[in-house]
Amino acid sequence: MTDCPDIEHLRTCSRCRESYELYALLERSLEERRSERPAATATAAAVSRRLGLHRRRAMDAILSVPSITIFISLVIAAVFIVYRQHLALATSKLAGPVGDTLVELSNILPAALLKATGGVTWILVTVSVLVAVLIALAYHMTAMRYVHR
C-alpha cells in the first residue's frame, strides 16, 4: 500500500509537518479539556440540595405518615368512646390479666383522677393517643435525620 501524496509531503516538508503536529496537539488539547467537566450527577445533587427538593420530599413523608398515625389513633379513640362499656366488659372477660391490672390500677388511682379522666376506658384512650404520638415523633426524628444527612 502506498502513502497518499499528503502523507508523503509531510515526511519531506518540515514546515507542514510542524503545522500538522501543532494541529494534532490542538485537537488533543481541546479533547482533553473534557476531563475538567464535573459529573452531571454531582451538579444534579447540588442543585437538588440548593432547591431543597430532597427536603421537600422528606417533609411530604413527615406530613403524610404522622397524619395517618394520628388518624388511626383518633379512630381507636372514637371506638373506645362509643363502645367503652362493652370494651371494658370484654377487656375484663377476654383479656383477664390485662383487665385485672386495669381494675387494680383503677383501685390504686385516686378517685378524683379517675373521675377527671372519665375512668379506665379513658385512660386507655389516652394511652393509645400517647403511643400514636410517640410513633409519630419517632418517625419525625428519623425523617429529620435523613433530611440533615
Partner 1 sequence: MRAVSDSELVRKAIGGDERAFARIVGDHHGMVFSVVRAILGNRDDVEDTVQDIFIKVYRNLARFRGESKLSTWIYRIAHNESINAVKRVRNDHGPLDEAFGLGTDRGNPDRAHRIRKMRETLEQLMLELDEQYRVVLELRYMGEKSYIEITEIMDIPIGTVKTYIHRAKAALKAGLTARERSLEVKGRLS
Name which of 41 and 107 has its Cβ closer to partner 1.
41
* Beta carbon of residue 48, minimum distance to partner 1 (angstroms, whole number): 6
- Where does this chain bind partner 1 (CB under 8 A)? 19, 22-23, 25-26, 28-34, 36-38, 40-41, 43-44, 46-48, 50-51, 53-54, 56-57
Residue identified by cell 485537537 is 27
Name which of 44 and 131 has its Cβ closer to partner 1.
44
Name which of 26 and 68 has its Cβ closer to partner 1.
26
* Beta carbon of residue 14, minimum distance to partner 1 (angstroms, whole number): 14
* Three-state DSSP string of the chain: CCCCHHHHHHHHCHHHHHHHHHHHHHHHHHHHHHHHCCCHHHHHHHHHHHHCHHHHHHHHHHHHHHHHHHHHHHHHHHHHHHCHHHHHHHHHHHCHHHHHHHHHHHHHCCHHHHHHHCCHHHHHHHHHHHHHHHHHHHHHHHHHHHHHC
* Beta carbon of residue 24, minimum distance to partner 1 (angstroms, whole number): 10
* Beta carbon of residue 27, minimum distance to partner 1 (angstroms, whole number): 8
* CA-only gyration radius of the chain, Å: 38
Name which of 122 and 146 has its Cβ closer to partner 1.
146
* Beta carbon of residue 51, minimum distance to partner 1 (angstroms, whole number): 6
Name which of 48 and 126 has its Cβ closer to partner 1.
48
